[in-house]
């Protein structure tokens, strides 16, 4: 039987989640800076662009998952309940947000795929 979390525990988890989001954004910005300014001269501009695409799509996926969607993983039925901003503010159904998350994850495959193809030519 599951019990609801205490208010202090829930607040601590929210603070931890927001702090990890800030750290993730800062690391992504730093990664883009390193890719643009300090990568090897032999690295082509198109490959740098692909690498930045990987970083940006991964960051967007994190933002969507942590802020907009916020699924509640309940075994054995994951993602049937959501607490995200899309649900709280705009009353978007869980199935719609889940489908959008799947599309965001699919969009992440393209920069990875192009990076692999580019490096293996």
Q: pLDDT tens across 10-69, in order?
A: 899 889 988 998 999 999 999 999 999 988 877 788 889 989 999 999 999 888 888 888
User: What token pair was written down for 81?
Assistant: 């309940």
CA distance 49 to 73: 35
CA distance 116 to 25: 25
Q: Is 43 exposed, middle or buried (0-12, 13-18, 19+ CB in 10 A)?
A: exposed
Query: Nearest-CA neighbor of 67 among 83, 51, 49?
Result: 83
């Amino acid at each position: 039987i599951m019990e609801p979390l205490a208010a202090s525990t829930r607040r601590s988890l929210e603070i931890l989640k927001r702090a990890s989001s800030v750290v993730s954004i800062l690391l992504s910005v730093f990664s883009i800076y390193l890719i643009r300014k300090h990568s090897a001269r032999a690295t082509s501009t198109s490959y740098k662009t692909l690498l930045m695409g990987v970083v940006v799509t991964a960051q967007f996926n994190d933002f969507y998952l942590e802020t907009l969607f916020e699924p509640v993983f309940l075994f054995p039925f994951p993602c049937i309940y959501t607490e995200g901003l899309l649900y709280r503010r705009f009353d978007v159904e869980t199935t719609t947000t889940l489908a959008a998350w799947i599309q965001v994850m699919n969009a992440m495959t393209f920069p990875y795929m192009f990076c692999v193809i580019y490096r293996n030519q």
